[in-house]
Structure 1
Amino acid sequence: MKTKLMLAGLTILAGCTTVSEITPAGDGHYTVTTQVRGGMTPWGEVKATSLKRADEYCNSRGEQMHQVDMQTHGVRGWTPQEAELTFSCLKVE
């Protein structure tokens, strides 16, 4: 019984993470959003997930990711946490 309660508690703390598709934002910029629901995920992890996805996208094009802006929304543990990254991909020279 203790194990089941502990697993249920960990599931609640872990939350559910979703990462949006990369979308064009104009002027050679793109956006990607990471959202975490129902957890106590550190903001650094939420932001890092968006940064990693953007980096993978640019690397797949043979380019390097450049962060333009990062906006965060939500309150950890109370409302969904969201990190919206605006970035560009620069040619590697």
Structure 2
Amino acid sequence: MKGYVLLFVISMLTACTSVTAVNSRQDGHLTVTSRARWDLVSWNHVRAVGLGEAEDYCEKQKKQLHTVEIHSEGLRGVTSQTVEVIFDCI
């Protein structure tokens, strides 16, 4: 039963966050943006989803993630939270 509850909680958190496709920037870096769909989602979760997407992208290319910058906007419970991860795969 505990396993089902944990699975439910994880799936609810995943549904609370959206993430864009990985895009190239003009400066040669890659970027991905994650957004909280609800105001109750923590910044740490939004950041983790963006970093996870970047890491998955690099792993598919058999490379390692190198984070260049992380930008965040928004305030939990007040405005929508957005995290932009700028990275390279090396």
- TM-score bin, normalised by smaller chain: 0.7 to 0.9
Number of equivalent positions? 77
| 1:47-66 to 2 correspondences below 5 Å | 47-66=47-66
- Give RMSD over aligned pairs: 1.5
Task: Please state whether the residue corresponding to 1:18 is helix, strand or coil.
Answer: strand
Q: Give the distance between the partners of 2:65 and 2:27, measured in 1 at CA.
A: 15
> What's the CA shift for 1:41?
1.4
More divergent stretch after superposition (58-67 vs 21-30): 21-30
**Amino acid of the structure 1 residue aligned with 2:33:** T
**Amino acid of the structure 1 residue aligned with 2:60:** S
Q: Give the distance between the partners of 1:39 and 1:79, measured in 2 at CA.
A: 7
More divergent stretch after superposition (29-38 vs 63-72): 29-38
Structure 1: segments with no counterpart, 5+ residues = 1-13
Task: Please state whether the residue corresponding to 2:58 is helix, strand or coil.
Answer: helix
In the TM superposition, what whole-angstrom CA distance separates every residue of 1:24-66 from its partner, at most 9, and x where no partner exists? 0134310000001323112111111000000000000010010
Q: Give the distance between the partners of 1:37 and 1:27, measured in 2 at CA.
A: 29
TM-score where L is the length of structure 2: 0.78
Identity score, percent: 36
Q: Give the distance between the partners of 1:65 and 1:76, measured in 2 at CA.
A: 27
TM-score where L is the length of structure 1: 0.76
Q: Give the distance between the partners of 1:29 and 1:74, measured in 2 at CA.
A: 24
Retained in 2: the 8 A contact 1:37–1:80? yes
**Amino acid of the structure 2 residue aligned with 1:21:** A
Larger radius of gyration: 1
User: What's the counterpart of residue 43 of structure 1?
Assistant: 43
Q: Give the distance between the partners of 2:28 and 2:47, measured in 1 at CA.
A: 21
